[in-house]
Amino acid sequence: MEKFYYKVSTEYRGQNFFGWQIQTREKTIQGEINQALAKLCKSKDLKTLGSSRTDAGVHAKDQVFKASLPVDIPLKGLVDGLNSLLPRDIKILKACRSDANFHPLRDAKWKRYSYLFTSDSTSPFSWDLIAKAPGALDINLMREGAKLFLGTHDFANFRCTGTDVPTTIREILEIELKKESSTGPWGEFSYYSLEIKGRGFLKQMARLIMGSLWNLGRGKITTEQLKDAIEMKTQGKVGPVAPPQGLYLKEIQF
């Protein structure tokens, strides 16, 4: 049977889902999209492949996936049809034609994540979108510590096991800790954003980088201890896995 291929961009709030990757018993982003596609195609003979396996509770502003479908659907019909069937915390942004050779994991040149947090109490309107850091933080020290992650390193101390990978070496292209402000229905508030751009990420790597910088900012570890962990002079994690609600998959470049 002939297949038709699409490259699709989507954004979602992750707090009501057990991550991107489809699972047998849990509600996932990919699972909801597959169900909606099955209704559009009137067939379950379809496949999707995401560019990033975001964890439970993690959000995305621009997740990209490949859809292999048994029927030819016009692009506007695909976008509008999916949006009419998906829950309100998932939105299809755009779609374009693709081919069998496109692979959203292998073909990604780099990915950008943002981790949003505040050291103050979170608003009841934003607790599921911004993380609360554990205690007072030395932000300037954290900014200096973040620079240590730049470049190519073995990130074995900054990953959780679960998915086998051929190597734990990854390259961080950019990393910056910025102060941000926003205005919403609940008023104006300020927060911090850790922006990380890399060629690839290990399981929970971004959240462990954030957790280690929190420990640095709280005086739980020193800059030398963080540097030793990055350079693999010591073994083991130097910070907690930061909560999922602060993490956003922000951008992917192919």
Note the pLDDT tens digit of each residue in 196-254: 999 999 999 999 999 999 999 999 999 999 999 999 999 999 999 999 999 999 999 99
Q: Where are the domains of the chain?
A: 4-97, 110-253
Closest CA to 121 of 194, 189, 182, 180: 189
Cα distance between residue 226 and residue 217, in whole Å: 11
Please say whether the beta carbons of 24 and 53 come within 8 A: no
**Is 110-253 in the same CATH topology as 4-97?**
yes
Percent of the chain surpassing pLDDT 70: 100
Q: What's the pTM value of the predicted model, to 2 decimals?
A: 0.94
Cα distance between residue 188 and residue 23, in whole Å: 38
- Active site annotation includes 55: yes
What pLDDT, on a 0 to 100 scale, did the predictor assign at position 125? Answer: 80
CATH class of the 4-97 domain in this structure: alpha beta
CATH class of the 110-253 domain in this structure: alpha beta
Cα distance between residue 154 and residue 108, in whole Å: 20
What pLDDT, on a 0 to 100 scale, did the predictor assign at position 147? Answer: 98
What pLDDT, on a 0 to 100 scale, did the predictor assign at position 119? Answer: 86
Low-confidence ranges of the chain (pLDDT < 50): none
Catalytic residue among 45, 55, 72, 89: 55
